[in-house]
Structure formats: C-alpha cells, structure tokens
Amino acid sequence: MLKGIAASSGIAIAKVYKLQQPVLNIEKKECDSAAEVAKFQAALVKTQADIEAVKAKAEGKLSEEELAIFDAHLMMANDPELSGQIEEMIKNESCNAEFATETVANMMISMFESMDNDYFKERAADVKDVTFRLKCNIVGAVIPDLTTINEEVVIVAEDLTPSDTAQLNKQFTLGFATATGGRTSHSAIMARSLEIPAVVGCAGIMEQASQGDLLILDAVEGQVILNPTPEQVKEYEAKAEAFKAEKEALKVLKDAKSVTTDGHEVELAGNIGTPKDVEGVLNNGGEGVGLYRTEFLYMDSELDFPSEDEQFEAYKAVLEGMGGKKVVVRTLDIGGDKKLPYFTFPEEMNPFLGYRAIRLCLDRTDIFRTQLRALIRASVYGKLCIMFPMIATLDEFRQAKALFEEEKAKLVSEGVAVSDHIEVGMMVEIPAAAVLADQFAKEADFFSIGTNDLIQYSMAADRMSEKVSYLYQPLNPSILRLVKVTIDGAHKEGKWVGMCGEMAGDELAAPVLLGLGLDEFSMSASSILRTRKMIRSLSKQEMEVMAEKALQCGNIKEVTELVKNSLK
Ligand code: PEP
Ligand code: MG
C-alpha cells in the first residue's frame, strides 16, 4: 500500500496503464543550420496542429477556463520570440534543432520558476509541456496517445500534464495516480473538474507499479493498493458501489433548492480561500460564497502587503466567477495563529485574545483602507457583502463602517464606479457580540456566526490545543443559546444571519440550526450537496420543536440524542 494525497475523491479498481513518456537524450551536434531550421519549422507546425487536435478532443469535456490552457499553449507555440531565439541559436552555433530547443526552453523555464509569483510559476509548466512536444516532433519520438486506451485502466504516471489530462477518456480511464503533485497542481484541478478519482504525490508508485498490475485507487483516503488480495478487491468493490450511488444521488440536487418538506428555504454557500475555489463552490451547487477568507491573499504575499490593485483583481475574479450570486468577503483576519512574513506582531501571552483582525485594522487604518478601496472598486462586478471579523463592541463596528463609508465617498468623488448595494455586516464570533446582537442588528446589514472562534471564546478553550479539544462542543446548549440570541436579535431588525464556522456543515448541528432559524449555511464546497439532501428531508416546524427542547438540555449528550431521534 502506498500513501498519497486524495486530489479528487472516488474509488477505482483496474489494471495499471503506466504512462512512460519518451526519454530524449539530447546532445549537441554540429549540423547544417539551414536543414536544421527547416526541420525545426516543420516540427513547430506539427506541434501547433497537435495542440489544436488535443484542444478539439477536450472541447465539451473541460470548462472554458481549462480550455484556455490550450490557448496559452498555442500562443506559446506561435510565439515569434520563442521560435526566433531557437532559430538564432541554430544559426549562430550550427547546432541541432532539438539541442537549441532544449537550451532555450530550459532558460525560459528557470526564468519563470525563479519568479516570485504563482502565475509565472505555472507558466514554467506550460513551457515544459509545449517544448517537450516540440522536441519529440523534431526527433520523431512518439508521445503516448492516451486517446487510444480501449480498456478500463488506472493511469500511473510521474505527473500528468494538462494535455495528458485533457485526453483522458472517462469511459476507460477510471482514475489516476501520480508520483508528484499536490492538491492544487494542474492535474489535480483537472481531475476534480473531470470528476475522475485521483491520488497525487504518491511517492514510489512509478518504481513499484508494473504495466498490467491490478491496482486499487482509494482516492477517498488517499492511498493505492498494488496487487490486492481477492478479499481487498471485494471490500473495495462494495465501497466503490456505495460511493458512486451516494454521489449520483446527490448530483440531482445541484440545482435544487435548499428547501424543507414544509416549504422553508435556506441558502447553502461555500467557504473559499482563493479565487480558484469559486469553481468548486459552483460545481457543488453553492448558492453563494458565505465566507471569503482574504487573509490568504496576505499570507501568500512574501515581501509586503498585497497592493490595492492586486487585491482588486482577486475580489473582482471571485465576484465575476460567482456570476451575480452573493459573495461575502471578510476583511483581513490576521493575528492569532495567522502571521505574515513581512509584519511584526507584538509579543503577547495570548495571541488569540490579542492584537488581531479588526483590532489590528482599526489601529493600522492604512492597511485597512487599502483593502476597503479594493473591495469597493470591485463591487460593480457582482453582489458584494463585506463583513468585519472579531467585532466585540458596537463602537468597533461603527469605526469600521465609518472607514468604509469614507473610502466609498472618496472613490465616488474620484469618479470611480461603485455599487449602491454593498451590504456591510459583521462576524459574530465573540460572545459579547452574540449577547448584544439585537443592538448590533440595528446597524449591521447581516451577521455571520463564526463558531470556530465563538466556541473557543465561550468555552475558554484554545482552538489550537489538542489537550482541550474536547471542549469544542457545537451542540453544547450554551453555544446553541448564543446562536439563538444572535438569530433572534437579527430577525427582530429584519436582518439575515449566516454561519460560516465549521458547525454549519456539521450533520448533527444543521437540523438544530434550521430549527433556530438560521438563514444561510456556509461550508466547504464538498459538504454542500450532502447538507442540501438533509435539509430537504426535514420539516422546519419539527426542527423548531426539537431546537426548543435542545435549548433546555443540560449537556451535549442529551442534545445529540435529541437530534438523532429527530432524524430517524
Ligand atoms: C470562525 O471563527 O468560525 C471562522 C469562520 O473564522 P476563522 O475560522 O477563519 O477564524
Ligand atoms: Mg474566526
């Protein structure tokens, strides 16, 4: 058994198709440069045609965004800068075309790889992909054609390029396992959108797997079993059936409403950390983004705070990507366990109780104003809601909102287009704010309950400490009462309440939250359809009765029993 990373969920059992790319041993040779230039140009034309062909095969299988990878490849293959440099080297050094191609390609790859920017790092992979094809065409090496696979297989490879992945025929390719790669590598992203199970980063697989071996790909747990016993095969056949049946059944709910048996509708949204995560939310039937944790934008930046324009681009991408569906963006929540490489935090005994989130932003208004401006500028691209993290007092909320209004007015006076419908709300994750929700609700447009922090502060139990993790008790009646006070306080003022902490996607908590009147549940994309299925099986009225009883319980054990009985 080999361990890896589950990049695209599912289970497959099939024979190994080991993808061996041709090994090109390229050496410098002295040649007639005119003949080599001609050879190079012919190979370039074939390469362009090959990419066109791969793109044509992928059309209909991949999203517009993924197909754009091939346009990028075509652009590269048509780039006069690339071909010009190669031809120049052939002429200047009277060398062979494949050597010149490799030399120029390696220069470009190391230039892109050394750049401190994910976008350019990904371009290095594109140069590798295109120039490998080019070199094969020059020397007449055949790149394995994955489209010719005509029996059920699991592909095993060192890594898969975007063009490899696009060629996969879902009928015969039941999954793939690669030796390299992570959850966000190109091939992993493609596997998720093609919905092919994949395990990546499976070290040793190329050495251990042989062509035709039987293989179990467990892309739920992130592992691969080579040459399994008949018992293991039986066990995994049953698992695969159950997985498939559940997934199929859930798919029909992608565009369904999240509505209870007695007609009460709630909203199921996704939590995201980067613009790339939008796709997963939409693919899983997310009705909006309920929490965009913008701090990742700051944490990914290595030398300084991200500029207003960099932030604007990210916020715009998310708003546009969601196509008019609601997007709740949380302003910078840094501090606690989240540090920045370019910013020195004060030494504190209890960083989670210290200088973090809105506290830091109200102190360093320069940082905060930049983010607000970027958000307000992006507001015209979709339905933007902004919320402030870690609000403890009404005064903090007022100060933050005043800064927002100031920046908005400035942008308007500068002639910048801004939306008139930006909602400004807050996270309820400090018990003081929950208890006083009715007062906050007079001024905030909405609440989103952050139970990860609300529970840590209510129970006085550090969320990072293993020793006290038993105190993370979403179903504790004390937490349920705080949630109720928050929801009731908002509803009294006609405001909506969401929840973006882990509790919202918890199978036992969701029925109680429904009963308490929560309007929006925001969770990781992969939990959305499962939660929708549950909501659609429940009666709001019955959950209200159950939630009332839960509020009167003494501990989580009683609440858990109550919920389980109500689900029977
Ligand atoms: C929360 O506290 O519940 C929350 C959603 O925010 P974070 O987990 O980012 O602190
Ligand atoms: Mg929080």
DSSP string, 135-185: HHHHHTPPPP-GGG--S-EEEEES---HHHHHH--TTTEEEEEESS--TTS
Whether residue 313 is found in the same domain as residue 167: no
Question: What's the confidence (pLDDT) of residue 186?
Answer: 63
Of 91-95, 210-214, 298-302, 554-558, the poorest mean pLDDT is in 298-302
Whether residue 274 is found in the same domain as residue 216: no
Of 97-111, 224-238, 308-322, the poorest mean pLDDT is in 97-111
Q: Please state the atom number of ligand 1 nearest to the C-alpha of residue 291.
A: 5
487 within domain boundaries: yes
Q: With bands split at pLDDT 50, 70 and 90, how would you rate the model's confidence at 164?
A: confident
pLDDT > 80? residue 117: no
Burial 335-346 (b: 16+ CB within 10 A, else e): bbebebeeeebe
For the annotated binding site for phosphoenolpyruvate, the residues are 293, 330, 452-453, 463
The ligand 1 site (C-beta within 6 Å) comprises: 291, 293, 333, 429, 450-453, 500-501
Q: What is the CATH number of the domain that holds 223?
A: 3.50.30.10
Whether residue 463 is found in the same domain as residue 319: yes
Q: 439 or 6, which is more confident?
A: 439
Whether residue 179 is found in the same domain as residue 288: no
Of 268-272, 282-286, 525-529, the poorest mean pLDDT is in 525-529
Q: With bands split at pLDDT 50, 70 and 90, how would you rate the model's confidence at 510?
A: very high
Q: Residue whose CA is closest, atom 8 of ligand 1?
A: 452
Closest ligand to C-alpha of residue 483 is 1
Whether residue 119 is found in the same domain as residue 226: no
**Between the CA of residue 338 and those of 116, 154, 464, 472, what are the distances in Å?**
21, 39, 12, 20
Phi, psi at 181, each rounded to 5°: 100, 160
DSSP labels for 388-446?
ESS--SHHHHHHHHHHHHHHHHHHHHTT----S--EEEEEE-SHHHHHTHHHHTTT-SE
393 within domain boundaries: yes
pLDDT > 60? residue 438: yes
Q: 311 or 190, which is more confident?
A: 311
**For ligand 1, mutation pick of 390, 427, 455 (most atoms within 8 Å of CB):** 427
246 within domain boundaries: no
Q: Which of 186, 210, 230 is a domain's end point?
A: 230
Whether residue 118 is found in the same domain as residue 172: no
339 within domain boundaries: yes
Question: What's the confidence (pLDDT) of residue 541?
Answer: 98
Q: What is the CATH number of the domain that holds 69?
A: 1.10.274.10
pLDDT > 60? residue 184: no
Whether residue 367 is found in the same domain as residue 434: yes
Whether residue 70 is found in the same domain as residue 213: no
**For ligand 1, mutation pick of 334, 454, 500 (most atoms within 8 Å of CB):** 500
Torsion, Cα 123 63 526 173, to 10 degrees, reads -90
Contact criterion met (CB below 8 Å) for 449 and 427: yes
Closest ligand to C-alpha of residue 498 is 1
Decide the pairing of beta strands 267-272 and 288-293: parallel
CA of 544 from ligand 2 middle (Å) equals 27
110 within domain boundaries: yes
- What is the domain range of residue 68? 33-139
Contact criterion met (CB below 8 Å) for 510 and 520: no
Q: 314 or 110, which is more confident?
A: 314
What is the distance between the alpha carbons of residues 544 and 264, in angstroms, rounded to a whole number? Answer: 12
Based on the residue annotation, tell me whether 553 is a catalytic residue of this protein: no
Q: Which of 230, 252, 274 is a domain's end point?
A: 230
Question: What's the confidence (pLDDT) of residue 70?
Answer: 84
479 within domain boundaries: yes
Q: Which of 187, 203, 230 is a domain's end point?
A: 230
Relative orientation angle of helices 308-321 and 365-378, to the nearest 10 degrees: 40
Counted domains in the chain: 3
Decide the pairing of beta strands 214-218 and 198-200: unpaired
257 within domain boundaries: no
- pLDDT tens digit string along 26-55? 999 999 999 999 999 999 999 999 999 888
Whether residue 166 is found in the same domain as residue 279: no
Catalytic residue among 95, 186, 202, 385: 186
Q: What is the CATH number of the domain that holds 344?
A: 3.20.20.60
Question: What's the confidence (pLDDT) of residue 337?
Answer: 79
Contact criterion met (CB below 8 Å) for 534 and 482: no
Average pLDDT of the segment spanning 8-35 = 92
Whether residue 369 is found in the same domain as residue 452: yes
Whether residue 164 is found in the same domain as residue 217: yes
Q: Taking all residues of the chain, what is their mean pLDDT, rounded to a whole number?
A: 92
**What stretch of H or E contains 16?**
strand 11-18
Question: What's the confidence (pLDDT) of residue 188?
Answer: 72
CA of 451 from ligand 1 middle (Å) equals 7
- pLDDT tens digit string along 352-402? 999 999 999 999 999 999 999 999 999 999 999 999 999 999 999 999 999
Question: What's the confidence (pLDDT) of residue 182?
Answer: 67
Whether residue 57 is found in the same domain as residue 193: no
358 within domain boundaries: yes
pLDDT > 60? residue 198: yes
Nearest partner of 146 among 234, 57, 210, judged by Cα: 57
Q: Please state the atom number of ligand 1 nearest to the C-alpha of residue 448.
A: 5
